[in-house]
Amino acid sequence: MPIELGPRAAVHLLNRIGYGPRPGDVERILGMGLDRYIQGQLDAPADPELDARLRGLNTLDYPISQVLTLYNADQRSIAVILDQLYTAKLTRCVHGQNQLQEVLVDFWFNHFNVYIQDGFARFSTAAYEREAIRPHALGRFRDLLGATAAHPAMLYFLDNYLSRATVTTGGRVVRGLNENYGRELMELHTIGVDAGYTQEHVIDAARCFTGWGIDNLSTSGRFVYRPQAHDTGAKSVFGLDLPAGGGKDDGDKLLDYLAAHPKTATFIATKLAQRFVSDDPPPRVVDSAARAFASTGGDIREVMRAILGSAEFWAEAFGSGKAKTPLELVASALRAADAEVSTGRAVVAYLQNMGMPLYSCVPPTGYSNRGADWINPSSQLYRMNFGLDLAAGAIAGVSADVRGVVRRMGGDSEDPRSVAGTISAVIFGKGLSPSTLEAASRVAPGGPVSVAARVAGLCLASPEMQAR
């Protein structure tokens, strides 16, 4: 069977820089041209339709202090606030026009991971994503790094708010340092674990940030710098020497240095290529992304342009694909079914069972970027069941009319072969394999569950749906 290049390339693009096609998307972006679509995604203009959908979620923009005030008045309020955050996340992935931006917000949140269930993080994670991650998702890496470093959510999660200079009083050493942020800043956020830094560098990196703290954990929750807690001694971190007498700027200078380090360019380029190209990305695309990072001073938009312009990215359109993470699987299924998400709670439970609860990765490492890590029998069962439940309309807070979609796309909703063929064309760029098409077409007529729901459920649970 000859492959139609256009639809396959369009589906690839929609799957990689977004959460997959909605019915009609393939035709739409082929009509406008893939170049123009990419440019629009890099520009990420205003999305009033999405804003309208989010308007009902009134706590989304609350500053940390307001969340704390509400919580102090009534502890039950935090459950509502978190529910709104989860619903907003799914709404953006499923309904947002700026799909690349949503993918990158997810990518950077995960890169600079904080765990929402951890104490003060519950009150500050929404603000963290809104203030530190989202504005810089397609911006400059140094801005992103600085915004995360100084955000109360990160200061809390990696304990830096507690870190202060170790002092000697009356001949006795009073230890004040907390190494957590200093280590993860280098290992996870910038130069990478294999860069070659030492334990002494970890200690000195942590010393740079002594005094970077949080004003009051139960009322204001604002960033504060406490000069009296800062270690003013000289520091040496992985080639950067800072003389004695520095203040808050010790931390800023270290962030400048690490953001501009060639190891950071390679580390970030590798991770982005892993997200957008393949689990083990070819060195050529990593090199070109790293060069774009280095030559533009860490302009994420230009790094993305390099990746999306590479032959390696497009070659993947005709490969075996990259396994979807649970979020990618769930969001892409919701989009494929043209579903409306009014509340995210039931979907969040599915993500939990698949091993990827929203904002809830415990280790600072973040969730794995490798598709292969998400494929196992337990997760697979939940993945198949999500597709079956979605098509059958059995997920609370989610409505999907697969029959209507099939008809709208020109298919015969009572004929299994026509339903499967329509889904293959509209969602998979005609990429469903003959064996999958044949199996889906064997659905028996009649019965309590409609033909369209059963065929769509099988297609959403199919092997092809598991990869992007």
Partner 1 sequence: MAWDISRRVFLRGAGLAAVGVGFHPSSLLVRAAQAAEAGSRVLVQVFLRGGCDGLNLCVPFGDTEYYDLRGGIAIGRSEVVSLDGHFGLHPALAPLKALYDDGRLALLPAVGNYALSRSHFDAQDFMESGTPGDKSTGTGWLERSIAKVPGNAVTEAVAFSAQLPRSFLGPEPVLVAQSLSSFDLRARNWRAEAETLLRAMYDARDDALGHVGQETFAAMAVLLRTPAIMAPPAGGAVYPNAAIGNGLRQAAQIIKAGIGTRAIFVNVPGAFDTHANQLAAHTLEFTRLAEALVAFARDLGGQMDDVALMVTTEFGRVAFVNGSAGTDHGSAHCMILMGGRVRGGRVYGSWPGLGRSQLYQERDLAVTTDFRDVFAELARAQLGVDGSSLFPGYTPGPGPGIVA
Per-residue binding string, partner 1, 109-148, x by CB under 8 A, is ----------------------------------------
How far is residue 299's CA from residue 285's CA, in Å, rounded to a whole number?
16
Q: With 0-12 CB in 10 A as exposed, 13-18 as middle and 19+ as buried, what is 5?
A: exposed
81-89, 286-294, 334-342, 449-457 -> range binding partner 1 (CB under 8 A): 449-457
Given a contact cutoff of 8 angstroms between Cβ atoms, the answer to whether 54 and 60 are in contact is yes
Residue 457 CB, nearest approach to partner 1 (Å):
7
How far is residue 82's CA from residue 345's CA, in Å, rounded to a whole number?
10
| Closest to partner 1 by CB, 146 or 357 | 357
376 binds partner 1 (CB under 8 A): yes
Among 11, 150, 177, 348, binds partner 1 (CB under 8 A): 177
385 binds partner 1 (CB under 8 A): yes
315 binds partner 1 (CB under 8 A): no
How far is residue 161's CA from residue 196's CA, in Å, rounded to a whole number?
27
392 binds partner 1 (CB under 8 A): yes
Which amino acid does the sequence have at 158?
A: L
285 binds partner 1 (CB under 8 A): no
Contacts (CB under 8 A) with partner 1, residues 193-252: 193, 199, 202
Per-residue binding string, partner 1, 393-412, x by CB under 8 A, is -x------------------
How far is residue 221's CA from residue 155's CA, in Å, rounded to a whole number?
11
Q: Please, which residues have CB within 8 angstroms of residue 112's CB and are 6 or more apart in sequence?
A: 132, 133, 144, 148, 154, 189, 366
Residue 449 CB, nearest approach to partner 1 (Å):
5
Helices (H), 96-149: 99-111, 121-127, 141-149
187 binds partner 1 (CB under 8 A): yes
| Closest to partner 1 by CB, 46 or 173 | 173
Given a contact cutoff of 8 angstroms between Cβ atoms, the answer to whether 209 and 159 are in contact is no
How far is residue 123's CA from residue 143's CA, in Å, rounded to a whole number?
23
How far is residue 334's CA from residue 87's CA, in Å, rounded to a whole number?
13
Residue 7 CB, nearest approach to partner 1 (Å):
21
Q: In which residue are the tokens 């519950």 written?
A: 122
Contacts (CB under 8 A) with partner 1, residues 317-356: 320, 323, 353-356
| Closest to partner 1 by CB, 179 or 256 | 179
Given a contact cutoff of 8 angstroms between Cβ atoms, the answer to whether 437 and 431 are in contact is no
Among 29, 317, 419, 443, binds partner 1 (CB under 8 A): 443
Applying CB under 8 A, the residues found at the interface with partner 1 are: 158-159, 162-164, 166, 175-180, 183, 187, 193, 199, 202, 320, 323, 353-356, 362-365, 368, 372-381, 384-385, 388-389, 392, 394, 433, 435-436, 438-440, 442-444, 447-449, 454, 457-458, 461-463, 466-467
